[in-house]
Chain A
Amino acid sequence: MRRLLDRKLARDLRSHLGALVAIAVVVACGQAGFFAMRTMARTLERAQTTYYHTVRFPDLFATVRRAPEGVLPTLRAIPGIARLEARAVGDVVVRVPGLREPATAHLVGIPLTASTRLNTLVLRTGRRPVPGERDAVLVSEGFAAANHLALGDTLGAVIGDRWRALRMVGTAVTAEFVYEIRPGDMLPDARRYGIVWLDADVASDALGLRGAWNEVAATLAPGADTAAVLAALDRALDRYGTPGAYTRDQHASHRFLSEEIRQNRTFALVLPVIFLGVAAFLVHLVLGRVVAQQREQVGTLTAFGMPSWMLLRHYGLFALVPVSAGTFLGAGIGVWFAWYLASVYADFFRFPTLRLALHPAEFSVAVCIAVAAAGLGAFGALRRLLSLAPAEAMRPEPPATFVHGRVERILARWARRPVPRMTLRNLTHRPWRTALGALGIGLGAAVVVAGTFGFDAVRRMRTVLFEHADRADVTIVFGEPQGLRALTAAREIPGVIAAEPIRELGVRVRHGHRNRRTALVGVEAKARLRQVVDLHGRVVRVPGGGVALGATLARALEAAVGDTVDVEFLDGRDRRRSAPVVAVVEDLAGLNVYVTQELFGPLVGVSEAVSAIGLAVDPLTLDAVYARLTRAPLVRAVVVRAAVRRAFDETLRRNFVIVLTTLVSFAAALAAGTIYNAGRVALSERARDLASLRVLGLTRSEVARILFGELAVLGVVGVPVGVVIGIGFAAATVASFGETELFRMPLVIGWRTIAAAIAIPTVAGMVAARPLRRRLDRLDLIGVLKTRE
C-alpha cells in the first residue's frame, strides 16, 4: 500500500510540476537572501573580530590639537588603561600620478625603531620604510589600487614648507581604516582619499608636531570602568584642546562596518518572512486544490483501511518536496551570492583576508524555516482531509455554491455584463484567497520599493549636497583657522572667479546633562557657494539673536527653540558661551550649530576664523589652480566637487546594478510564482466552466480574458497595496537606519522606483501567464460534456 502511495506521490508531483517549481523558486529566493545576508554578516563579523584581535584594535581613542610627549606617562597611569600609544596624524594635499585633481592623504606617523603594539599594520606588498629613510612611505592598499600605484611610484606633497616626493615602498591595511572614508563624506572615494604611513619623526615635522602628538589610542584593562576611564582621559587632555575621548562606538570605520553587519542581520530576518510567507500561501493553494480533486480517492483509500497518518505523510511530502528543493537551490545560490558580495565588499571594507564564513547553523535555521512554511501551508488542506468522514469524502466535492451576498449590491451598480460579474463573484467568493493572492503579487512590488528607495534617498542627498548645499567648484580646507588674508590670497589665484569664506569650528554643545561634539558654522546670508539647506535642498535662513540647531542635534540634546545651550570651544583655551536656540534646521547633516556671520565673531571671541574657502573656478584654468593649491602651505585638503560627485555616482551606479538585479529576480519570482499558481488553481477549478463557455461559442481569447481578468484584478489590487507596504517598510528603514549622527536620510521615493515596482510584477505576471494560456487553448471541450462536476 505504501509503495502504491509512493508511486502516486511521484505521479502527483509530476502532474503539478509547474506549480511546484514556482513554489520552489519563491522559496529559493527567500533562502538565497537569507543565506547570503547571514553569511555576509557572519563573514564580516568574524573578519572584524579576528582582525581586531590580531592587530590589537584599541578600545578608546582621543584627539587633541597638540600635546607634549611628557603627558603620556600621566595618561598611562590612569587606572583601567592597559596600553596607550600616541602619534602624530594629519591630512595633507598630495599629487598622485595619473590623477588630475589633488588628493588628500591622511598621514600617520609610525615609529620605525620601536614597534607599535596597538593598531599594527598588515603589510600587503613591498616593505616598511627603514629608519632614516625620510621619503619612503607605506600607502593604504585601497588608495594604491584605485590609483594603480606601483612600488616605487611617488606622491608629491608639501611636507613642512617643502615640496617632497614620497616614494611608495609598500602597501598596507589596518583595522582602524577598514572603511576608508574622508571624515564627513557619505561614501568612500578611494582615488582621492587614502592613508599614508611614514616615519614618525618625518610625520611630526610635516605636521608641525615635533616632540608632540595629536592622537592617542588605548586598550582597556579587563574589568575597567569605561566611563570612568573616558572621564579621566577627558580631564587629562582638556587643556590640550580635545573634542573628548571616545569608544569604538564613535570610531568612524568601526561604526560603518558594524552598521553594515547589523543591516545584513536585519534583512536576513525580513527576507524569509516575506518569501516563505508567500511560499506557504502557494503551498496552501496548490495542496488545497490537489486534496479537493483527490477527495474521492482519499475517501476510497480510507474506506479500504489506509491509516490517516499515511495520507498525512503523503500530502505532507507533497508540500515538503518543493520547499526542500527551494531550500537546497536557495542555499546554493545564497552561498554563491555571498561569495560574490564578499568580492564587492572587499572593495569597501579592507581586510587582510575576507574569507567566507559558511556555517551549518545557517542551513539548520533555513531548514527549520522551510519546514515551518511547508507545515503552515499544508495545515489547512490536511485538516480538511482528516475531518472528512470516508463516506462523505467518496462523493465528489459539491460545486461552489454562489448565493446573493453583500457583493450583489455592488455588482448591480458596477458590473452589469455577465463576464465582469463572473469575475467579481469568483474573486469575492473566497475573499481570503483573493486577498492573499493580491498580497503575494503586491509583495513583489513592495520588495522593489523597499529595496531601491535607498537609492532615491541617496540620490536626493547627493543632489542636495552637491547642487544646493555646496556649489563651490573647489574647496580649500585649512588645518588651522585663518584670517582674511587667506581669502585675499585665494582670490588672487589666476582662474579663481569667486572665493567665499567658510567658517566651521569644532565645539561641544551642552544642554542640561546632554552634550554633543559638533561644528559651529558661521552663515553668511549673501553666501552663494556654500548654503544651509534643508533635506529637500531649500535654502534655510538662519535667524540672528542666537544659534540654530540641526534637527538631529536638537533631538540628541532634547533642546528646542527658546532653550539656552552652552557652546564650548575645543581649542584647549577653555572658553564657554551661552546662547539661546532661535531655530531648529531640518538639515542633511543634522549635527551642526548655525549662527549668523554677525554673531560668529563675538561668539567665538576672535575677529576672524576662516576654516575653509569655497572657490568658483574658470574651468579652463582648473589644472593650473590644482597645481597652485597642491603646493600651497597650510592647506590640509583640496576638495573638487565634480570629482567627488563623479566618484559618488560611480559607487552608487555599481551598487545599484547589483541591488536592482537581485530585486528584479526577487520581485519577479514573487509575482510570477503567485500568478502562476493562482492561475493554475483557478484554471483547474474552472476548467469545466471555461470549456463550457468555449462550447457555447466564446473564442480562445475571450475565455483567456476571463481567466486573466481575474488574475489582473489580483494584480491591480495587490500592486498598489504592495507599493504602500514598500513605502511603509522604507519609512521603517529610515527610522531605524536613516538617522545616524553623520547624515539624515530623507524618505524619498522616486517615480522611477514606483514605475519599476509596478512594471516588474506586471511583466513577470504576464510571462507566468503564458503557459496558462497554452493550457487554456488545449482545454478538452468534449471531455467536460461527459462529466458532472
Chain B
Amino acid sequence: MNPICSKFIKPTVNTICRRIALTQTRNTYIFRHVYVPPVTPEGQHQRPPTELQNYRKYELVEEETEKPAGPLKVILLQDVEGIGHQFDIVEVDRDVARNDLLITKKAAYASPFDLKYYGDMKERMKEELAKRVRIPYEYLKIGRELQKLVVPLHVSMDNPWTLNRSIVTASLRQMGVDVLDNGVFLPKETISGPNFDYEAKLTRFYVVINKQYVVPMIGRISHISADESKQALYPDAAKQPSEEQLRKFGIKPETPYFHSSPEIDENFVVVDLMNSRKKQ
C-alpha cells in the first residue's frame, strides 16, 4: 500500500510548493554605497560607475519589512462587535483586517471612492441606523461571562435566613464579580431556611449593568457554616446545569435585555419585566 500512495502524493506536494514560490512578493530595500564614487566636477563627463569594483559594493540601510506596518483604515459594512458600528471608519490591526474583515466582506478598504460611496449610503440609511439598538461591547462581554457562572449562594446551616440582595452580592463577590451599585434583583417568592430541601436548588436572579443591561443569572443554594465539621461535599458544581436540571427547578433559559436609557435603579421592577419577556 505505502509505496503506491507515496507515488501519488509526492508529485502533488512538489507542484504545490513550486506554485507557492511562483507567487510574487515585493519589498523595498534601501542601499547605499560602501565606497562613494567622487562627484563629477563641472564641465566634465561622468566616469563610468562600474570602473572600479569597489563602486559596485552596496550595503543595506533599510528594509521595508523591518518596521511593523501600522493599522489599516477600513470602512465597516456591518456592526462588528468590539470594533465599531456600520459605516464607521476605523483603524484596525492589519492581520485582523486582511484575514477576517475584508475577506468576509464585513469591511472595505477606505479608498476615496468607497468613502464617498458608503458615506452616501449612510446618509440614505440614516433613519434605519438610528432605529437600531446598539449595546456597548463591554456590556455584552460581561453579560456573557456572567451567564456562564453558576453562583453558589452561601447560606447558614444554623441561623434563619431569607435570600436577599446582600447575600447574593456577597456570594458574587466570592466568585470574583463585584457589583458596585446594588444592581441585583431577586424574584418576589423569597426562599428562606435553613432548609435542607433547598440544598443545591437553582434559582434565577438578575444583575443590572450600569442601570441599563439586565443579565439573567443562576444561583445555587449551598448551606455553609464556619464550623469545619459541618461541611457538605459537592460533585462538580461549577459546570453549567443542563436544560433538564433547569426545568426541574422551574427556570427557563433567558437572554439579556438592553433598556433604551439607564433608568433601572432600585425602584424598577426588573423581575416582572423579565417574566413578561419570558412569556413572549
Q: Are A and B genuine complex partners?
A: no
Binding site for A on B (CB under 8 A): none
Binding site for B on A (CB under 8 A): none
